[in-house]
């Protein structure tokens, strides 16, 4: 899990989350003028979208969608 909850009903279409996502997970639905989660598996839970969303549309849990990474040891 990474995007634990997404509340599109709050979205005002500002596009901050799409701009801040380094993984191209989020896209804008131009017709609806709302963001949507296009590639959930690529979320690395950096909290960029949640940090820059002014409307509280995102709840991101710490785990990456594809699981934990290689150990440094």
Partner 1 sequence: MSDTGLPRVTLTTDVLVLGAGGAGMCAALKAKEAGADVLMIDKCGIGYSGQVPIGGGILAYVYPSYVDTWAEKVTRDSHFFNNQDWTWAFGGRMHQTTMDLADLGLKFLRKDGDIEVLTWGPNIHVTLFDAPKSLESLRRTAKARGVRMMDKIFAIDLLKNGDQVVGAVGFGLLDGRIYEFNAKATIVATGNCGYQHEKTYSSVLGEGPAMGYRAGAQLTNAEFNSMYVWGIKQLGKELMGIHFYLYLENARGEKIMGKYYPELMVGEHAVLTFDPRVIHAMYEEVKAGLGPIRLNLNGLTNDEIAGLCEEFVEDLSHIMANDTMLLLREKAGIDPSKETMEMWPRLLYTGGGMWVDPHCRTTLPGLWAAGGACSNLWTNGGGSQAGLGVQSAAVTGFAAGEDAAAYALGVPLVDVDRAYADRAIARVMAPLGRAGDVDAYDVTYRVHEAIVPMKYNRIREAGRMNEALGILDDARQKLARVGAADPHDLARYHSAESMLMVSEFNYTAALMREESRAQHFREDFPQRDDENWLKWITIEQGDGGPKLSTVPIPLQKYRLQPNP
Q: Which residues bind partner 1 (CB under 8 A)?
A: 15-16, 18-24, 27, 38-39, 42, 44-48, 50-52, 60-62, 64, 66, 69-73
Write down the least CB distance from residue 35 to partner 1, Å: 11
Nearest to 8 by CA among 51, 24, 21, 27: 27
Write down the least CB distance from residue 3 to partner 1, Å: 12
Which residues share a beta bridge with 59?
5
Write down the least CB distance from residue 29 to partner 1, Å: 12
């Amino acid at each position: 899990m990474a995007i634990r909850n997404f509340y599109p009903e709050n979205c005002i279409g500002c596009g901050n989350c799409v701009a801040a996502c380094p993984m191209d997970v989020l896209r804008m639905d131009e017709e609806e003028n709302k963001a949507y989660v296009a590639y959930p598996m690529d979320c690395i839970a950096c909290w960029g979208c949640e940090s820059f969303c002014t409307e509280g549309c995102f709840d991101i849990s710490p785990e990456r969608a594809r699981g934990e990474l290689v150990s440094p040891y």
